[in-house]
Amino acid sequence: LEENGQPFDPHFIINNAVSNIICSITFGERFDYQDDQFQELLRLLDEVLCIQASVCCQLYNAFPRIMHFLPGSHQTLFRKWEKLKMFVANVIENHKKDWNPAAARDFIDAYLQEIEKHKGDATSSFQDENLICSTLDLFLAGTETTSTTLRWGLLFMAMYPKIQEKVQAEIDRVLGQSQKVSTAARESMPYTNAVIHEVQRMGNIVPMNVPRELTEDTTLNGYRLVKGSMVLTNLTALHRDPAEWATPDTFNPEHFLENGQFKKRESFLPFSIGKRMCLGEQLLCCE
């Protein structure tokens, strides 16, 4: 309505909403969308994510010792990262001023409890520096991924209006015009749930998963893998496998439906699998 029917880029509007959810979890408060501090945080996060995809940053990942001495966007990234760390450090200091160990308000408070609990333990990883980095991990991993998924959802709904109509009809039938949205309603909305899963399958926002490093030598399908090797998982091959999906290259919510009910698929792994799978899966599903 604010755009008077004109085209607009939904990126920052969606980012504002998603980032504020992360703020409420980590900082214990939501910001006004026009708040200067909040906008500065979003700007820095957006710039860091954009710079990470640059050629210089990719070269730095491959040749860190050489690139450390060379100019380029990777040096800009380091400066932006320090500003982000300072932002979070200030929030942590403010938390410490009125921190109550018996009543954790948010992620920072809970982490401060662990720091206090492990005080004097030289081997403990619960330290202020790790708290800062863990908080930023939540923002970087939880904001852009969710925001991008939602933008894919908007695109697919625009491309497939009949599917959009069926989703809207189910929402109207189950929730009506006044009932608040809740996770409890998910079981009664199999089609909407199937559409959300198909958005994630087709959107495929982390096609090669997150790089992992082997902690020991191992063998996989006859190949010897050495400790310290980087391993990438091709999730695209899994999510577009014609042996697993009836129409792998087409947006089709029926992939997740059986006799009108939602059906989980073992070959659907946008959050990866195992001990190192995405910690934000439940949060994203709720969002």
pLDDT tens digits for 153-164?
999 999 999 999
Q: Can you say how many angstroms the Cα of residue 250 is from the centroid of all Cα atoms in its chain? A: 24
pLDDT digits (tens, 9 = 90+) for 118-159: 998 989 999 999 999 999 988 888 888 889 999 999 999 999
190 with 148, same domain?
no
87 with 189, same domain?
no
251 with 125, same domain?
no
Burial 161-186 (b: 16+ CB within 10 A, else e): eebbeebeebbeeebeeeeeeeeeeb
Going by the DSSP 8-state scheme, the letter that residue 181 receives in this structure is P
Query: What token pair was written down for 196?
Result: 């959300």
Adjacent-strand bridge partners of 261: 258
106 with 124, same domain?
yes
| Domain end point (choices 159, 189, 216) | 159
Query: What's residue 287's pLDDT?
Result: 58
153 with 171, same domain?
no
Query: What's residue 270's pLDDT?
Result: 92
Query: What's residue 163's pLDDT?
Result: 98
Domain-embedded: residue 168? yes
195 with 78, same domain?
no
Binding residue ranges for heme: 278
| Domain end point (choices 159, 180, 198) | 159
| Domain end point (choices 126, 159, 192) | 159
Query: What's residue 61's pLDDT?
Result: 78
The pTM of the whole model exceeds 0.95: no
Indicate the burial class of 44 (C-beta count within 10 angstroms; 0-12, 13-18, 19 or more): middle
- Whether 189 contacts 181, CB under 8 Å: no
Query: What's residue 283's pLDDT?
Result: 67
Domain-embedded: residue 220? no
- Total domains in the chain come to 2
112 with 183, same domain?
no
Extract the residue ranges of the chain whose pLDDT is less than 70: 1-2, 282-287
Binding residue ranges: 278
189 with 67, same domain?
no
263 with 137, same domain?
no
Domain of residue 246, residue span: 160-206+236-287
Domain-embedded: residue 185? yes
142 with 119, same domain?
yes
